[in-house]
Amino acid sequence: MKRIFTLCILLCTAWAGFAQTDSTTSKKSDTIKVGGMTIIRKPGSYQDNNRKDKTIIFSNRLRSKPSSISTNWFIFDLGFANYNDKTNYATAASSGFIEPGMNEDDFKLRTGKSINVNIWVFMQRMNLIKHVVNLKYGLGLELNNYRYDNKEIRFHKNPTYIETDPDLVGVNIKKNKLAADYITVPLMLNFNFTPHRGRGFGLSAGVSAGYLYSARQKTKIDGKVDKLKNDFDLERWKLSYIGEMNLGIVKLYGSYAINSMWSKGLDQTPYTVGLRFSNW
């Protein structure tokens, strides 16, 4: 109530100040600021020697400060998955992990068909230094599909054994892939160069830790889909270097694992790159 009463007094005082101006000679606008409000009195037209003035009152716009902790829900990534193959195939064959005679060419991927999809349940950004330097973390799923160019490749389980199946030669094979899915926690240091903009410019770099919760080989032969579920001696834990880049509405991401995706036999280090769909 006291604020309203004080405001009324100030408005009346302002109006009185306007009234003291010469209404017959001046056509300039009068402006006065009262607290967080701006009052503008504009001269109107002359009718019967009486000027009709217009008074405009509006509040000053204040720029709100970014929150110290902001949350982004359900971020979606779409990109490509591949790996850097450093396997000693003679050693892998002698250990009984793969069929003798298999080499790097048998494990080449179809680049355009090997897809990485990430679904982040949430990501949070915590201010460290003036909203320019932030700590970024979250939780989500990494879904990797490695589509083999050699469609005759076949996985066996307990124990894991990989071969080129002669029964598949000449068969109409539409799909042959290895799927590896992880529950992942990313942790990054974020640099936001435009902290007062929703779609700004910046970059992030850090690491992620993922746990393998599902793996399977999926084939599609003559319209029939077959799935063989097993971990195939894949590493349960996946540690990766990760990064992202914000270029306005375009957001890019990438990852490169620290170690091989296999616990034995093969030495293939996975990496991903693609587009990120998020609010920031």
Share of the chain above pLDDT 90, in %: 67
Query: Do residues 85 and 105 make contact, with C-beta atoms less than 8 angstroms apart?
Result: no
Quote the mean pLDDT of the chain: 85
Q: The tokens of 265 are what?
A: 């036999």
What is the C-alpha to C-alpha distance for residues 238 and 253, in angstroms, rounded to an integer? 17
| Bridge partners, residue 181, by sequence | 143, 214
Mean pLDDT for 124-144 is 96
Residue 100: per-residue pLDDT = 96
Phi, psi of 109 (to 5 degrees): -105, 155
Query: Do residues 57 and 33 make contact, with C-beta atoms less than 8 angstroms apart?
Result: no
Residue 270: per-residue pLDDT = 98
Residue 24: per-residue pLDDT = 44
What is the C-alpha to C-alpha distance for residues 128 and 177, in angstroms, rounded to an integer? 43
What is the C-alpha to C-alpha distance for residues 241 and 254, in angstroms, rounded to an integer? 8
Buried b (16+ CB within 10 A) or exposed e, 60-80: eeeeeebeeebeeeebebebb
Residue 215: per-residue pLDDT = 98
Residue 200: per-residue pLDDT = 81
The pTM score is 0.76
| Bridge partners, residue 252, by sequence | 245, 275
Q: Which segment of 8-22, 155-169, 262-276 scores lowest on mean pLDDT?
A: 8-22
Which of 125, 117, 233, 247 lies closest to 186, judged by CA? 125
pLDDT surpassing 80 at residue 121: yes
With vertex at residue 179, the alpha carbon angle to CA 177 and CA 184, rounded to the nearest 5 degrees, is: 155
Residue 169: per-residue pLDDT = 76
